[in-house]
Amino acid sequence: MELNGSQMVVEALAKENVSVVFGYPGGAIMNVYDEVYKQNHFQHILVKHEQAAIHAADGYARSSGEVGVAFVTSGPGFTNAVTGLATAYMDSIPMVVISGQVPITMIGTDAFQEIDAVGISRPCVKHNYLVKDAKDLPRILKEAFYIAKSGRPGPVHVDIPKDVTAQVAKFEYPDTIKMQTYKPTYKGNVRQIKKAIEAIASAKRPVLYIGGGAINSNASESVKEFAKITGIPAVETLMARGVMGDENPLLLGMLGMHGCYSANMAMSEADLMIAFGPRFDDRVTGKLSEFAKHAKIIHVDIDPSSIGKIVAIDYPIVGDLKNVVDSMIPLAKEKIDSTKYKSWRDLLNRYNEIHPLKYQDSNEILKPQWIIERVGELLDDKALISTDVGQHQMWAAQFYPFSFPRQWITSGGLGTMGFGLPAAIGVKKANPDKISINFTGDGSILMNIQELMTAIEYDLPVINIILNNKYLGMVRQWQTFFYDKRYSSTDINIQPDFVKLVESFGGVGYVVKTKDEFDSALQDAIKSNKVALINVEVDRLENVLPMVPAGGTLYNMMLEYKE
């Protein structure tokens, strides 16, 4: 079959069972958009800014496990997309992003809307391609989808010059992948696994340190099973929230900078750490020389470069987490006695009783943590939770009762403000039967506020809950703690009327100052089935606690802030 490059793109997406593409057209990608117009394989959702197209595809991917797809044009279309690519790359999210490029004949001439797109995307994608000939396009697109979702997932960028989108060539979409060099390892080394099991069997204070890899490899059930069989207490990273389920008695909670006391103490006092797909981020480890210094470490990861990158590993296992844990389970049943760690679990539970996650509720002023808890009580597993970045993000991670993987959608590695609303749009698209909540801040929401229009246009009723403290709260908190309260450029009390703002787009808005008002606003928003924005006026000076100051040690947390 002979097709032009644009038709090939459409056909390839159909073959990959893509059902939605987020994007924004422009000169260099017009040929592709012409074919988008003629086809009925997938829906195209027109965003209002290219950054949002990538975040929406990202939210779609995170919440569904499928590859997210986005189209942007050359030049500024592409550069606007870069933050989205970097966000997805840092959190290992499978995506294929296709950008238009000026015709090959004009590349290098500083043509209108020309930029070296693959040069820019190289450090923030898993792989990228500049397509020089339409005959390569079927293979490249097949590889792009395969690379995006296999191994350690990540975004793949395909840059297609305009003349290639018009060039006609033979189209044969490959059924199988034949790559000479790229061969991820899925199965763990049997000897290493046996050694790891022996190490666990002889440990006295083991802890499971669960990372985002558990989500990416769909390993939640296996990890829970492993924890149950062995009786080993578990901690989750920010990216792993939802893996164990917060009802699970073996879960201590989130660890790290704003993790709970018992989780951080478990890491500090453990004699064996079993790392299931985390990456030892600095927000988790704190000061490295003091991090889990009594523990031997087992690290399971599909990416060999992740192992030993930050700390030396005693038992490295390269492989897909689910695959490896599944092969550990029968050995664990045989070798490990789950009653053995009871006193260790008791100690950690006691830590949790002494220093639980807490906040001082008030009847005069709304506390942001109460809002999160309240949404949890009212919506629980009926909602998927996206966030922006800052204090509200940490409170959501701490206080929302997560019960399953992919319920929690957040920009962890890059920490991208403006992620929440477009991501929640992608989440709603992938999960029409769930309530899509975006917890956001008064700073973050204004970074991609224009996407209210997209949500309304495509009838994707996202509920945005602004925990509004009229500050760039996380920076303000650091200024309070570490900069003698010099609130440099963080007081943002000059604000739009958020209710009028969302109403002008065609959604519904609420101002909330009391608990009762919040309950009725949330219920009303859900009932309306419209795009909603609930502006909650919360305590301006509430801090996220406990806290390990940057470079501090996990066992020496700041539990409360004293003037």
Partner 1 sequence: MENVRRVLSVIVINEEAVLSRISGLFAGRGYNIDSLTVAPVPNTNFSRLTIVTSGNQRVLEQIVKQLHKLIPTYKVIESGEFVEKEMALVKIPLNEDFNGLDAMLKAYNGTIASSGETYIVVMVADDANRIDNFLKAIKKYNPLEMVRGGSVALDV
Q: Show the tokens assigned to 531.
A: 């795009």
Q: What b/e sequence results for 412-444 when a residue is b if at least 16 CB atoms lie within 10 Å of its CB, and e otherwise? A: bbbbbbbbbbbbbbbbbbbbeebbbbbbbbbbb
Under DSSP, the state recorded for 471 is: B
Contact status: 108 vs partner 1 (CB under 8 A): no
Contact pattern for partner 1 over residues 329 through 368, marking x by CB under 8 A:
----------------------------------------
Stretch that binds partner 1, among 92-100, 176-184, 270-278, 384-392 (CB under 8 A): 176-184
* E strand segments, 353-434: 383-387, 408-409
Contact status: 105 vs partner 1 (CB under 8 A): no
Out of 15, 44, 127, 470, name the contact with partner 1 by CB under 8 A: 127
Nearest-CA neighbor of 57 among 2, 13, 108? Answer: 13
- Show the 3-state SS of 441-464: ECCHHHHCCCHHHHHHHCCCCEEE
CA atoms of 202 and 181, how far apart (whole Å): 39
Contact status: 302 vs partner 1 (CB under 8 A): no
Which of the residues 20 through 79 are near partner 1 (CB under 8 A)?
none
| Dihedrals phi, psi of 43, to nearest 5 degrees | -90, 140
Q: Show the tokens assigned to 142.
A: 């097949």
Out of 43, 108, 122, 333, name the contact with partner 1 by CB under 8 A: 122
Nearest-CA neighbor of 448 among 54, 20, 4? Answer: 54
| Least spacing, CB of residue 303 vs partner 1, in Å | 7
User: Which residue number, 123 or 551, has a Cβ lying nearer to partner 1?
Assistant: 123
Contact status: 288 vs partner 1 (CB under 8 A): no
Stretch that binds partner 1, among 298-306, 345-353, 436-444, 521-529 (CB under 8 A): 298-306
Contact status: 303 vs partner 1 (CB under 8 A): yes
Out of 103, 245, 308, 549, name the contact with partner 1 by CB under 8 A: 308
CB 533 within 8 Å of CB 540: no
Contact status: 181 vs partner 1 (CB under 8 A): yes
Out of 14, 30, 46, 118, name the contact with partner 1 by CB under 8 A: 118
| Least spacing, CB of residue 520 vs partner 1, in Å | 51
User: Which residue number, 126 or 406, has a Cβ lying nearer to partner 1?
Assistant: 126
| Least spacing, CB of residue 562 vs partner 1, in Å | 39
User: Which residue number, 305 or 493, has a Cβ lying nearer to partner 1?
Assistant: 305
CB 492 within 8 Å of CB 498: no
- Alpha helices (H) in 96-239, listed in sequence order: 117-121, 137-149, 162-166, 190-201, 213-216, 220-230
Nearest-CA neighbor of 409 among 478, 462, 447, 446? Answer: 462
Stretch that binds partner 1, among 116-124, 234-242, 400-408, 553-561 (CB under 8 A): 116-124
Contact status: 525 vs partner 1 (CB under 8 A): no
User: Which residue number, 118 or 456, has a Cβ lying nearer to partner 1?
Assistant: 118
511: alpha, beta or left? (left if phi > 0; alpha if psi -120 to 50): beta
Beta bridge partners of 101: 161
User: Which residue number, 159 or 542, has a Cβ lying nearer to partner 1?
Assistant: 159
C-alpha gyration radius of the chain: 24
Which of the residues 366 through 385 are near partner 1 (CB under 8 A)?
none
Contact status: 180 vs partner 1 (CB under 8 A): yes
Contact status: 182 vs partner 1 (CB under 8 A): yes
| Least spacing, CB of residue 143 vs partner 1, in Å | 8
Q: Site for partner 1 (CB under 8 A): how many residues? A: 19
CB 438 within 8 Å of CB 423: yes
Out of 305, 343, 504, 523, name the contact with partner 1 by CB under 8 A: 305
> Dihedral, CA atoms, 554, 556, 562, 563, nearest 10 degrees?
-90
| Least spacing, CB of residue 362 vs partner 1, in Å | 47
User: Which residue number, 105 or 495, has a Cβ lying nearer to partner 1?
Assistant: 105
Contact status: 485 vs partner 1 (CB under 8 A): no
Contact status: 314 vs partner 1 (CB under 8 A): no
For 518-541, the DSSP string reads: HHHHHHHHHHHTS-EEEEEEB-TT
| Least spacing, CB of residue 187 vs partner 1, in Å | 18
Beta bridge partners of 535: 466, 511
Nearest-CA neighbor of 445 among 396, 490, 502, 407? Answer: 502
CB 294 within 8 Å of CB 553: no
Q: Show the tokens assigned to 205.
A: 């204070």
Query: Which of the residues are catalytic?
Result: 50, 112-113, 162, 474
Q: Show the tokens assigned to 309.
A: 């990158």
| Least spacing, CB of residue 164 vs partner 1, in Å | 14
Contact status: 133 vs partner 1 (CB under 8 A): no
| Least spacing, CB of residue 207 vs partner 1, in Å | 24
Stretch that binds partner 1, among 125-133, 325-333, 343-351, 364-372 (CB under 8 A): 125-133
Stretch that binds partner 1, among 80-88, 180-188, 283-291, 389-397 (CB under 8 A): 180-188
| Dihedrals phi, psi of 209, to nearest 5 degrees | -110, 100
Q: Residue 118: how many CA atoms within 13 Å on its side-chain side?
A: 18
CB 542 within 8 Å of CB 469: yes
CA atoms of 276 and 340, how far apart (whole Å): 21
User: Which residue number, 153 or 242, has a Cβ lying nearer to partner 1?
Assistant: 153
Out of 175, 178, 312, 337, name the contact with partner 1 by CB under 8 A: 312
| Least spacing, CB of residue 309 vs partner 1, in Å | 6
Stretch that binds partner 1, among 103-111, 124-132, 362-370, 406-414 (CB under 8 A): 124-132
Residues binding partner 1 (CB under 8 A):
118-119, 122-123, 126-127, 130, 132, 147, 179-182, 303-305, 308-309, 312
